[in-house]
Structure 1
Amino acid sequence: MKAWQKQDFQLENLKLVEVPTPEPKDNEILIKVNAVSLNYRDKDIMDGNYRRDLMERSFIPVSDAAGVIVRKGAEVTRFKEGDRVISHVYTKWIDGKPAADDVLYSLGGVLDGGLAEYMVLDEEAAVMAPDNLSDEEASTLPIAALTAWFSLVEEGKLTSSDTVLVHGTGGVSLFGVQLATALGARVFATTSSWKKAEKVKLLGASDVINYKELPEWNEELARVTDGNGVNYILEVVGGTNINRSINALALQGQIFIIGFLESKTAEVDLFSLLSKQAHLQGMRVGHRKAFESMIEVFEKYDIKPVIDTVYSFDQAIEAYEHLSRGAFGKIVIKVNS
């Protein structure tokens, strides 16, 4: 089969190669991959910025894949051949609390991922794809959508009376807007352009603040919330933005730290943190049981993922380059027709 293989760090070392089609063991499923989507984790792995100590060897990258089961092992009971399924990045995290070694069993590094014509998964590391989504749309869910869901719903216990703030227009943020809106919460967003702001409003955000025009965007958020702030923030920026997010919180609000587009380090204003009695929590996607619960909501409310661009299989390099430039929504690679 054809597969893209990370042979070393940096994008020039992502090579299209021929490798044997994997054979499923008794408890495994062989999936014909129809589409994958990219996350910043995939970029960081190729750049050597994500657990470099574990990523030295060659492997097939990209964790998020959707396709159809073409063969299953003798002991598989959760699926049948012909089922449409989606991969779950942390293959051992089924429910409950995460384990310290989950990263050793994660797709697209350390384990082979989905940027290939076929992939093998343990049956416990897959979920049924929602009927209302195409394979391209379904491939966007495993990291970006589940991170937003796990933060707001599983950890935050979001209700319709709550308020949510998301930063930017990447995958996690836009899924945060869509999911929170579907569940009845009021959603605010920050972005760098009014053109993007109008698109975010169409997804359900009630107010969008242009942080280019208003660098101290938290002051504007205080104004539009009558000084109350918001209950939950999906923090993908990091760096100096953390303190503005703390200032934007309601009392005892929660900040879910998901990314670090500005910087991996931050100098936190502890007085503001104490004054707000703020909760800061780092997030690492979520477990499979939550993934299955989230898919029910995607079907119930017919939520459609926002896809910026779909690339062909032989355009994987261009897809990664687009991800590096930034996108409105998800970057998808169509693998098989």
Structure 2
Amino acid sequence: MRAIQLKKPGGIDNLYVGTSELAPMGPGDIHVRLHASSLNYHDYIVVLGGIPTPDGRIPMSDGAGIVVAVGENVTEFAAGDHVVSTFFPLWLAGQPTIAGMQRVPGDRNDGYAREEVVAPATSFTKAPAGYTHAEAATLTCAALTAWRGLFVEASLQPGETVLVQGSGGVSVFALQFAKAAGANVIATSSSDAKLEKLRALGADHLINYKQDEAWGMTARKLTGGRGVDHVVEIGGAGTLTQSIAATRLNGNIAMIGVLAGLAGNVATAAIMSGNIKVNGITVGSREHQTAMIRAIDANGIKPVIDSSFALEKIGDAFRLQASAAHFGKIVLEW
């Protein structure tokens, strides 16, 4: 079958169309005909060679498609079911463990940039009702990261205020989830055009962080000086100081990205005196994903997809991602 593979040492130009064989079907496995994937920062780093992988690795952590057949011990799925992959196939429930966070698709083992896969049934969940394969493929990493940051680790409540940064997949999902839960949302971006798109999705307040370097205090002022309840922090060291400034006493910061820097000065005294909880978030478990999908089925949230590319055009998709010109998710469909 056709598969996208990566030559060592990595790089977008080292992606090529190759072939891969299906693994033998076991009693607890399902055979899935894949139809879509979506791009995440993790995939981008893998493709660039920032996370070393064996020569010929099949990338992409997110995959969605249709069940073709199930093993004799599988009862959760049937042929014809629409399914979406999980980011940590071994983290099924409970607290994260080192063992459970191994074998990330496209990283520790082959991912979903291929036409078919045989995998343990626990590596997938059912997709939301009425979702296209491309829509389902956006959920595995970006949506679940936002969900865990707001509802698993922070218990977002109606009427609270959430600060989201930028217009990538995690931030857009965080905005959508927060609004569905009855929260207020402050959104930041360096683009006025993207800010207007965030407003159209329900953002209550907008801040252009390039025009307002002290955007953390601006966000605090927008809450009447109290501070925001939750921050979805995608920048890392480069933006954390402003996020701390924005956060209320005993508020929550979900640290989910490092787009603005891997290391830097951290206002530890402000975290301590503000009794702020900073939670490192690396996606979530299968149990978290099934809960999120139940919520999506109940409230009808649909992903924001910026662009779609054919599987063999994966390099062009990553070039768009690198340009940061997109809004929401970039997907592959085949």
Establish whether TM, by shorter chain, passes 0.5. Answer: yes
Contact 2:228 2:248 (8 Å CA) reproduced: yes
Residue 315 of structure 1: aligned partner: 313
Residue 5 of structure 2: aligned partner: 5
1:211-230 equivalence runs, <5 A: 211-230=209-228
C-alpha displacement at 1:57, in angstroms?
4.3
Residue 137 of structure 1: aligned partner: 135
Residue 328 of structure 1: aligned partner: 327
Deviation string 1:278-334 (CA, Å, 9 cap, x unpaired) is: 111111101111111111111111101000100011211101111111121001000
Secondary structure of 2:64's aligned partner = strand
Residue 195 of structure 1: aligned partner: 193
Distance 2:13 2:84 in 1: 28
1:1-337 equivalence runs, <5 A: 1-8=1-8, 9-50=10-51, 52=52, 55-326=53-324, 327-335=326-334
Secondary structure of 2:224's aligned partner = coil
Distance 1:157 1:309 in 2: 32
Contact 2:91 2:101 (8 Å CA) reproduced: no
Distance 1:39 1:120 in 2: 23
Deviation string 1:140-191 (CA, Å, 9 cap, x unpaired) is: 0010000000110011111102111010000000000000100101111100
Contact 2:244 2:271 (8 Å CA) reproduced: yes
Secondary structure of 1:260's aligned partner = coil
Secondary structure of 1:64's aligned partner = coil
Alignment TM-score, normalising by the size of structure 1: 0.96
What amino acid sits opposite 2:314 in the alignment? Answer: A
Contact 1:190 1:210 (8 Å CA) reproduced: yes
Aligned residues: 332
Contact 1:22 1:118 (8 Å CA) reproduced: no
Distance 1:273 1:181 in 2: 27
What amino acid sits opposite 2:142 in the alignment? Answer: A
Which moved further from structure 2: 32-41 or 67-76? 67-76
Distance 2:191 2:44 in 1: 24
Distance 2:55 2:251 in 1: 42
Contact 1:166 1:233 (8 Å CA) reproduced: yes
C-alpha displacement at 1:245, in angstroms?
0.5
Fraction of identical pairs, as percent: 35
C-alpha displacement at 1:39, in angstroms?
0.3
Secondary structure of 2:218's aligned partner = helix
C-alpha displacement at 1:276, in angstroms?
1.1
Contact 2:90 2:101 (8 Å CA) reproduced: no
Distance 1:254 1:146 in 2: 18
Secondary structure of 1:105's aligned partner = coil
C-alpha displacement at 1:6, in angstroms?
1.7
Distance 1:132 1:230 in 2: 34
**Residues 263, 234 of structure 1: CA spacing in aligned structure 2 closer, same or farther, 3 A cutoff?**
same
Distance 1:229 1:121 in 2: 46
Alignment TM-score, normalising by the size of structure 2: 0.96
Distance 1:56 1:132 in 2: 37
Distance 2:20 2:273 in 1: 57
Deviation string 1:239-259 (CA, Å, 9 cap, x unpaired) is: 231111101001011111111
What amino acid sits opposite 1:108 in the alignment? Answer: G
Structure 1 residue ranges without an equivalent (≥5) = none
Which moved further from structure 2: 175-184 or 198-207? 198-207
Contact 2:22 2:118 (8 Å CA) reproduced: no
Distance 2:321 2:117 in 1: 23
Secondary structure of 1:3's aligned partner = strand
Contact 2:142 2:170 (8 Å CA) reproduced: yes
C-alpha displacement at 1:108, in angstroms?
1.3
